Amino acid sequence: MAGLTLKNIIKRYGNAEPTLKGINLDIRDGEFLVLVGPSGCGKSTLLRSIAGLESITSGDLYIGDRRVNDVHPKDRDIAMVFQSYALYPHMTIRRNMAFGLEVRKMPKDEIDRLVAEASQMLGLDEYLDKLPKMLSGGQRQRVAMGRAIVRRPKVFLFDEPLSNLDAALRTQMRVEIRRLHKKLKTTIIYVTHDQVEAMTLADRIAVLSGRDKENGTKNAGYLQQVGTPLELFQRPVNKFVAGFIGSPSMNFLDAKIEVRNGKKCVALEGWDAIDLTQECADAVKDGQELCLGIRPQDVILADASHPANMHVKVDVIETLGWECHVHFKYGEHQFLAVIEAQKLADIKEEQEVGLYVAPEVVHLFNHDEHGTAIAHGGGLKGEPKSSNDADPHFTALNEVIASASDEISDAN
Ligand SMILES: Nc1ncnc2c1ncn2[C@@H]1O[C@H](COP(=O)(O)OP(=O)(O)OP(=O)(O)O)[C@@H](O)[C@H]1O
Ligand SMILES: [Mg+2]
C-alpha cells in the first residue's frame, strides 16, 4: 500500500492549451479519494497519467516515496478499472482474472489462491467457469474489479466504473466497493459523475474545474477544492464548487447587504431580506453587492414559527415521491426548492407563497471572476428540536450513509 503525491502536474496534448494546469495533491495511504468535475475537465487524463498510460508534460508524481514519472505502467503497482470493463470474451471468468498474473509468470498455486480469494470476496464463485457473455453487466463489473484485486496493487484507480449499470445495480456495487475498501484498505482514486457515489464513498473529494460559459477554458484544469464531503458541502471555496457539489444545484441570486434595525442583512426582491449569522455579518459591509447562495434543500415553507423572508410565486411542481422539486418565480429569477410532498398538499401552481431561509444556511460569494466565497452561515447544527426543524439535506445525507453502512454490516 502507498500514498501518492502529485506536484504541479501539467498535461498538455500536442500544442493545445494544457488540460491539467498544475495539480498539487497529497493522497494518504489507504485513503478513498473521489475525483469529480464536469465532462472534459481532465479526470480520465489525470488517472491515466497516474497509471502511466499518458506521459505527463511536467511535474512530479510519487507513489509512496518513489518518483514514478519515468516508470513503465506495469511497474507502477497500480490497477485501473475502466468504465468499459473490456473482459476477454473467449476466456472464462477464472482465466480473465488469472491472465494478468500468468503474464507476470506467477506460480500457478499462488494464482489459484488469489483468484479464489477475490472470487469469494466478490461473490463470483458460481461463475468462474462461465464466459463473460453469460454474465450480467453488474457481474461483469465485478469480474473487472476481481482482475484488479488479484494483483494486490498499491493503488486502485477507478474511472466511472459504475456508469454503465442501472440505478439498482449501481447502489449494490457502490456498497460492494465500500466493503472492498474496508477489507483491503488500499488507496483508491475514484472518478464519478454521481453525487451520491461521491458523497458516500469518499474520505475526501477533489473537485477539478472545467470550461465555463463566461471564461471558456481560462479557469479549467485546476483543482478547486479538496476536502471531506461535508466540508465541500458546507464550506465551498467558490461558486464553482458550490454549484457542482450537491444535487439539485445551489440557487444563486444577486443581492445587496443592508442594515435594517441596526443589523446587517441580505436584501433581495421587494422588501425581502435574510438575517445573517455573526460570521457572515462580520465579513460584509453595508451596501456591498454580492451573490447569495441557497441550497434547494435548505428552504422551508413559512409558518407561524418561521415567518416568510422570501415571497415567491409557484411556477412548476415536480413530484418525485416523498419530496417535490418546486420551481418558483422570484422577480426575474428562477428559484428551486426541495420540499416534502405532504407539506405541499394545499399549494397549487401560480400561487404566491412565503418561504423561510435560516441565516445558518446562507452562503455569500463575491462577484469576482472566481465567485470566491466570502462567508458561510455554517449550517444548522445540533439536534433538531422537532421534525419540522430538521435540516432536510443532512437528514437525507445521513440516511444514505447509514443505509450504506447497514448494508455493509448486514453483508459481513
Ligand atoms: N489523446 C488525446 N489527445 C488529445 N486530446 C485529448 C486526448 N485525450 C483527452 N483529450 C482532451 O483532454 C480533455 C480532457 O479529457 P478527459 O477524457 O480527461 O476528460 P474527463 O474529465 O475524463 O471527461 P468525461 O467526464 O467526459 O469522461 C478533453 O478536452 C479531451 O478532448
Ligand atoms: Mg473520463
> Is the separation of the CB atoms in 96 and 51 below 8 Å?
no
**Is pLDDT above 90 for 190?**
yes
Q: Is 42 near ligand 1, meaning CB less than 6 Å away?
A: yes
Confidence of residue 260 (pLDDT cuts 50, 70, 90): very high
∠ CA(22), CA(26), CA(29), 5° rounding? 150
> How do the domains of the chain map onto residue ranges?
4-242, 248-376
Q: Is 21 near ligand 1, meaning CB less than 6 Å away?
A: no
Q: Is 44 near ligand 1, meaning CB less than 6 Å away?
A: yes
Question: Phi-psi region for residue 189, left (φ > 0), alpha (ψ -120 to 50) or beta?
Answer: beta
∠ CA(160), CA(162), CA(167), 5° rounding? 135
The two beta strands, 32-36 and 187-191, are parallel
Q: Is 40 near ligand 1, meaning CB less than 6 Å away?
A: yes
Q: What is the pTM of this model?
A: 0.87
Q: From start to end of 341-390, where are the E strands?
A: 352-357, 363-365, 373-376
- Distance (Å, rounded) from C-alpha 298 to C-alpha 300? 7
User: Could you give phi then psi for residue 129, rounded to 5 degrees?
Assistant: -100, 10
Q: What is the whole-number distance in angstroms between the Cα of residue 161 and the centre of ligand 2? A: 11
End-to-end CA separation in angstroms for the chain: 23
Residue 339: how many CB atoms within 10 A of its CB?
21
Smallest CA separation from ligand 1 atom 10, residue: 13
Amino acid at 151: R
Q: Is 331 near ligand 1, meaning CB less than 6 Å away?
A: no
- Which position has the grid cell 479464489? 116
**Selection from 300, 320, 310 nearest residue 270 by Cα:** 310
- Distance (Å, rounded) from C-alpha 143 to C-alpha 137? 10
DSSP state of 144: H
> Is the separation of the CB atoms in 297 and 380 below 8 Å?
no
Q: Is 139 near ligand 1, meaning CB less than 6 Å away?
A: no
What CATH number labels 248-376? 2.40.50.100
Smallest CA separation from ligand 1 atom 18, residue: 42
pLDDT digits (tens, 9 = 90+) for 155-177: 999 999 888 778 887 888 888 88
pLDDT digits (tens, 9 = 90+) for 193-237: 888 899 999 999 999 999 888 888 888 999 999 999 999 999 999
- Distance (Å, rounded) from C-alpha 3 to C-alpha 26? 8
**Is pLDDT above 70 for 286?**
yes
**Is pLDDT above 70 for 130?**
yes
Q: Is 45 near ligand 1, meaning CB less than 6 Å away?
A: yes
Average pLDDT over residues 363-384: 85
Confidence of residue 399 (pLDDT cuts 50, 70, 90): very low
Smallest CA separation from ligand 1 atom 1, residue: 13
Best CATH choice for the domain 4-242 from the list 3.40.50.300, 3.60.15.10, 1.20.1560.10, 3.90.1520.10: 3.40.50.300
Q: What is the whole-number distance in angstroms between the Cα of residue 188 and the centre of ligand 1? A: 21
**How much is the mean pLDDT over the chain?**
89
Residue 412: predicted pLDDT = 38
